[in-house]
Amino acid sequence: MTRFDLYHEKVHGLAMSILMNKSDAEEATQDVFLAAVREADRFQGNRALHPWIYRICVNSCLARRGRKRPRSRIFCRSSPKRARMRSRSRTGAGTSSAGFRIGSSER
């Protein structure tokens, strides 16, 4: 039994759990083993192989997921505090013509 046979199902399962898409997970699994072969000289032989392969898998899947989904951006023109202040100033109660709240001593 080869190392590929030992880790293929586990790596594919991990890729599926991250990517949630069968074809993407299959491609990522292939990429993981290609990267492992390509980077074999960087592997420290005195350590276990599976954490190294799983880390390659996680990194590969996160990179793939980042390429597939554009990051959504949330634009906020003002803070909630400012929005509350503006809504109070629109009512006119207790505000000056400039929209500032007037204290009880200034009325």
Residue-wise pLDDT tens digits, 26-55: 999 999 999 999 999 999 888 999 999 999
Q: What pTM was computed for the model? A: 0.61
Q: Which of 4, 6, 28 is nearest to 18 (CA)?
A: 28
pLDDT attached to residue 81:
58
How many Å apart are CA 59 and CA 45, to the nearest integer?
Answer: 21
Helix 3-19 and helix 22-38, axial crossing angle in degrees, nearest 10: 130
Query: Residue type at 62?
Result: L
